[in-house]
A and B are shown apart, each in its own frame.
Chain A
Amino acid sequence: MNIYDTYEVVIGLEVHTQLLTKTKAYSGDIAAYGGEANTHVSVVTLGHPGSLPVFNKRTLEFAMKMGIACNCSITKVNQFARKNYFYADLPKGYQITQDKTPLCTNGYILIGEFGKEKKIGITRIHMEEDAGKSIHDLDPFYTLIDLNRAGTPLIEIVSEPDLRSADEAYDYITEIRKLVRHLDICDGNMEEGSLRCDANISVRKKDEKDFGVKVEVKNMNSIRNVKRAIEFEIKRQIDAIEKGETIVQETRSFDGINGSTKSMRSKESAHDYRYFPEPDLPPLIVTEKMIDDVKKEMPALPKQLMHKYIEQLHLSVYDAEILTSEKNVSLYFEELITKTKNYKSAANWIIGPVKEWCNTNAKDIFEFPLTTNHLTEIIQLIDTGKINFTIVTQQLFPALLNEPNETAEGLAKKLNLIQQQDSSLIEALAEDALAKYPEKVAEYKNGKKGLMGLFMGEVMKMSGGKADPKIATKILEEKLNGG
């Protein structure tokens, strides 16, 4: 047995997500990403003497959405707290956060394959403000400070130590990112730092009851790097234990270039943040009505949609996963299925041609030129046999993309793509086709049924592809079998 398999890995993740509110958490300053350095700053952001915070209610709304999405209890009486530490990009010398009364507690999310999901506990979600940015590489002598980010609202999502592998951690953050994007509360961009993750990792022998000593790993700027960092750390810890060394509680930093972690600070030098209730802000009271109002505004969540698509619409797990992977895709699909009952076809159109268009053009589905009315029409044209599927994909669909102001049927008529359903016309074509191949007709009658394809091909060719194949087949069969 592999020595690594004799260990169990225990991981808990802390995910910080930057909320997409227009203004900052405790001031009216603009919270947008970027901007010329130190332009989104008032005396409050600058922490000037005498300035005071005023809570932005949108922060609460966004945080509650996430809490509800993670099946958390929402705390009714919320106290803000100060977390004290000195750093150049923290102008007040403390961060306003929540300590003893996090807004959301005791929730969970589901990760993993549909039908075999694993519950990952959410210990808490709390609201806080971000610090500014220290820029070390712009000036040869000085560290520069940009306070545009200082005071922007964050939520910190803390998981229970329920994750058992790097893959589970990967799935967990992917799910968290999907949720925040779905709820429109964060853009989920790890590279720009709007979603950040710290991992607490420990290992223990499989029969061990107590957790091992945990190590905190920081600075992983992509989901892939979270996985890499955890994989590295698991191996490092097990190797160390196997060598008879003890794991020290510490904070380590991940280096994306060589995929390793290195020590940042030990437990002894850890900060004492001296949390205490923020006296400048009165307690924030959340009422049942406020919770209900937020619930009413919440979109259906990816997991709920998965269930719906699989159980009610009878789509495959694969289809359902693709349709729920991005919020806008699911919104488009949701709109489409209010107009057509051919769910499978609706799903196929989105997963196929529509997504292909998005990928080719690197655009969001909301920028896709055709409306759900177009797709509804197309599905109906095919289902009623008015137009052949191949003709739609090859001719009508590309044409519509260029002329999205047309209706699908209108453009099909204009381009003369509507299938010939007039049986007398098709009958005439069928007669012509059979007359063209008398020997083949005889062969068919002698049992070579495979020749039907030849006759069909001829009818289609003569009709310019517009003959309804069902009708044509029927007429040809009648003529061949009857005569």
Chain B
Amino acid sequence: MSFEFSSILQMQEDVRLGKISCRDIVSHYIAVIETKKHLNVFLEVFAEEAFQKAEATDNKIKSSEKTGKLFGCVVALKDVISIKGKNVTASSQILKNFTSLYNATVVERLLAEDAIIIGRTNCDEFAMGSSNENSSFGNVLNDLDNTKVPGGSSGGSAVAVQAGMCMVSLGTDTGGSIRQPASFCGVIGMKPTYGRVSRYGVIAYASSFDQVGPFAKTADDAALILEVIAGKDEHDATTSILPVEEYSKEIRNQKSAIKYKFAYYPQAIGHEKVDPEIREAIYNTIEKLKADGHSVEAKDFKYLDYLVPVYYVLTTAEASSNLSRYAGIHYGYRDKGATEMEDVIRNSRSKGFGKEVQRRIMLGTFVLSSGYYDAYYTHAQKVRQIIRNETENILSQYDYIILPTTPTTAFGIGQIKDPIEMYLADIFTVQAPITGNPAISVPLFRHSNGMPFGLQIIGKRYKEKELLSVTKLLQQGY
């Protein structure tokens, strides 16, 4: 039976009407995953569990039992999200055979709403990277052009949605790891407000930046997933107690007449690194928004050049500590040759971690070390606060900030060799995690080179509904 996915709600209606069963849907996705194996998206496919869940759901529907919000919804998870009894590796050799003892809170919430978890997706090792080339389990290929990267670090989750290997997926975003691959793959990618989604059970890269968020084809689907996974979690002290709105219902019923106030940074769009076609597309969008009665104003943002340095000082500092637990002592890879404790730790980490991860651990250790601490870590903390204040200030006057998601479209595999050049490609995505604001990449454009790119919108804190709402508006008419 052929299946064509348009939206979660449509799929659910079809299942209810008996046009298709959840089992058939899972078969469909398993088949696509098999066909597109060369993309190297999945590190593991949970076919058996997916079929079990599908059949259980089909039975529920037959017997008119209550079903969860996400019944029939086939979801892929970035392999930093723990599933009880399954391996979770962060695409690292150091966790190659590590099995999680518990479910991440987002997994609990997905399963409680009857979602079908189809597999775990490839990513950059410990979510560090912008191209998926740092995975120790091989590159992920962009489905639109197999010579191009999918972006990173949540490249596998982005391609899973792009290539129709699942309906929606979850990634994590620390400096753009959802939005950048979403832009490169032509799908929606959203980073919620810091504190909106629980990080419990999600392998940490930089704790004060990391957020889990969805990849989807439509704003409605992203909204539905987010409302399920968001909200206070007693296991994560940094989650907010603010109630979660029913984003999906709210944006379904939204009035199109609302006029918004947008700000954009001319320095960003005009930045020398920005591809001229991307620049032009964004200026055109600005004009169209104005023509439609929205207000769009240029806003000076002085701190553009500080974003990437602040981001790398603080995230590597946190990462150097977060990754200390992978020491070859209690679990994960242990170097067999070592006998003394220090050698076990040193050798296991030297062999178990990839190059980029080691680079960032060393950077982070350096910026926290005595003698350099104030010059780097303390300084960066101060600048982070300044950037927060300024962003807060802008968003007190405007509803949204418009930015390119990425300065370029997806680049070639192996094309960027200099890590600093790779870091600088994060220039437009790091602001939101530095400040904790929610941001989304909306797939609006296609470059003459054939590759897609997104428009990035940063919203006010905890205004996910508004962000999804404007995404829907843009997707409909832009």
Residue of A nearest to B323 (CB): A93
Q: Does A393 count as interface, using CB distance less than 8 angstroms?
A: no
Q: Which of B95, B324, B373 contacts A86 (CB 8 A)?
A: B324
Residue-wise interface mask of A (81-100) relative to B, using a CB-CB cutoff of 8 A (1 in contact, 0 not): 01010111001111000000
| Contact between A280 and B238, CB atoms less than 8 A apart | yes
Task: List B contacts of A86 (CB < 8 A).
Answer: 324, 327, 342, 345
| Contact between A50 and B104, CB atoms less than 8 A apart | yes
Query: Shortest Cβ distance from A49 into chain B, in angstroms?
Result: 5
Task: List B contacts of A43 (CB < 8 A).
Answer: 101-102
| Contact between B321 and A93, CB atoms less than 8 A apart | yes
Report how far A48 CA is from B331 CA in the complex, Å: 8
Q: Does A279 count as interface, using CB distance less than 8 angstroms?
A: yes
Query: Shortest Cβ distance from B336 into chain A, in angstroms?
Result: 14
Report how far A238 CA is from B440 CA in the complex, Å: 68
Task: List B contacts of A53 (CB < 8 A).
Answer: 237
Task: List B contacts of A54 (CB < 8 A).
Answer: 234-237
Q: Does B369 count as interface, using CB distance less than 8 angstroms?
A: yes
Residue-wise interface mask of B (95-106) relative to A, using a CB-CB cutoff of 8 A (1 in contact, 0 not): 100101110100
Task: List A contacts of B329 (CB < 8 A).
Answer: 88, 91, 145
Interface residues in B315-329 (C-beta closer than 8 Å to A) = 317-318, 320-321, 323-325, 327, 329
| Contact between B237 and A91, CB atoms less than 8 A apart | no
Report how far A318 CA is from B422 CA in the complex, Å: 76
| Contact between B100 and A49, CB atoms less than 8 A apart | yes
| Contact between B324 and A49, CB atoms less than 8 A apart | no
Q: Does B179 count as interface, using CB distance less than 8 angstroms?
A: no
Q: Which of B95, B199, B369 contacts A272 (CB 8 A)?
A: B369
Residue of A nearest to B200 (CB): A52
Task: List B contacts of A47 (CB < 8 A).
Answer: 325, 330
Report how far A82 CA is from B204 CA in the complex, Å: 15
Interface of A is mostly: loop
How many residue pairs between the two chains, A and B, have CB atoms under 8 Å in the bound complex?
Answer: 101
| Contact between B324 and A84, CB atoms less than 8 A apart | yes
Q: In the complex where A272-B370, A274-B368 touch, is A55 in contact with B237 (Cβ < 8 A)?
A: yes
Q: Does B365 count as interface, using CB distance less than 8 angstroms?
A: yes
Q: Which of A55, A92, A276, A282 contacts B317 (CB 8 A)?
A: A276
Q: Does A281 count as interface, using CB distance less than 8 angstroms?
A: yes
Q: Does A418 count as interface, using CB distance less than 8 angstroms?
A: no
Query: Shortest Cβ distance from B256 into chain A, in angstroms?
Result: 39
Query: Shortest Cβ distance from A251 into chain B, in angstroms?
Result: 17
Report how far A300 CA is from B325 CA in the complex, Å: 44
Q: Which of B88, B237, B342, B373 contacts A282 (CB 8 A)?
A: B237
Task: List B contacts of A93 (CB < 8 A).
Answer: 321, 323-325, 327
| Contact between A48 and B100, CB atoms less than 8 A apart | yes
Task: List A contacts of B200 (CB < 8 A).
Answer: 50-52
Interface residues in B224-254 (C-beta closer than 8 Å to A) = 234-238
Task: List B contacts of A49 (CB < 8 A).
Answer: 82, 88, 90, 95, 98, 100, 203-204, 325
Report how far A328 CA is from B234 CA in the complex, Å: 38
Residue-wise interface mask of A (154-186) relative to B, using a CB-CB cutoff of 8 A (1 in contact, 0 not): 000000000000000000000000000000000
Q: Does A266 count as interface, using CB distance less than 8 angstroms?
A: no
Task: List A contacts of B475 (CB < 8 A).
Answer: none
Task: List B contacts of A87 (CB < 8 A).
Answer: 341
Query: Shortest Cβ distance from B1 into chain A, in angstroms?
Result: 38
| Contact between B235 and A52, CB atoms less than 8 A apart | yes
Task: List B contacts of A246 (CB < 8 A).
Answer: none
Report how far A91 CA is from B328 CA in the complex, Å: 10
Q: Does B353 count as interface, using CB distance less than 8 angstroms?
A: no
Q: In the complex where A49-B88, A49-B325, A84-B324 touch, is A274 in contact with B238 (Cβ < 8 A)?
A: no
| Contact between A281 and B331, CB atoms less than 8 A apart | no
Report how far A272 CA is from B366 CA in the complex, Å: 11
Query: Shortest Cβ distance from B81 into chain A, in angstroms?
Result: 8
Residue-wise interface mask of B (190-202) relative to A, using a CB-CB cutoff of 8 A (1 in contact, 0 not): 0000000001111
| Contact between A50 and B202, CB atoms less than 8 A apart | yes
Task: List A contacts of B330 (CB < 8 A).
Answer: 46-47, 91, 145
Query: Shortest Cβ distance from A84 into chain B, in angstroms?
Result: 5
Task: List B contacts of A48 (CB < 8 A).
Answer: 100-102, 325, 331
Residue-wise interface mask of B (363-389) relative to A, using a CB-CB cutoff of 8 A (1 in contact, 0 not): 001001110010001000000000000
Q: Which of B238, B317, B321 contacts A94 (CB 8 A)?
A: B321
| Contact between A52 and B325, CB atoms less than 8 A apart | no
Task: List B contacts of A348 (CB < 8 A).
Answer: none
Task: List B contacts of A279 (CB < 8 A).
Answer: 206-208, 238, 318
Task: List A contacts of B341 (CB < 8 A).
Answer: 87-88, 143
Report how far A82 CA is from B207 CA in the complex, Å: 12
Q: In the complex where A49-B98, A49-B325, A50-B202 touch, is A280 in contact with B207 (Cβ < 8 A)?
A: yes
A88-B341, A272-B370, A275-B368 are known; give 6 further A-B pairs, CB within 8 A. Answer: A50-B82, A50-B201, A51-B201, A92-B324, A145-B330, A274-B373
Q: List 8 A-B contacts (CB under 8 A).
A: A43-B102, A46-B330, A49-B325, A51-B200, A52-B236, A84-B368, A274-B321, A281-B238
8 A-B pairs closest in CB distance: A93-B324, A279-B207, A279-B208, A274-B368, A50-B201, A47-B325, A49-B203, A50-B82
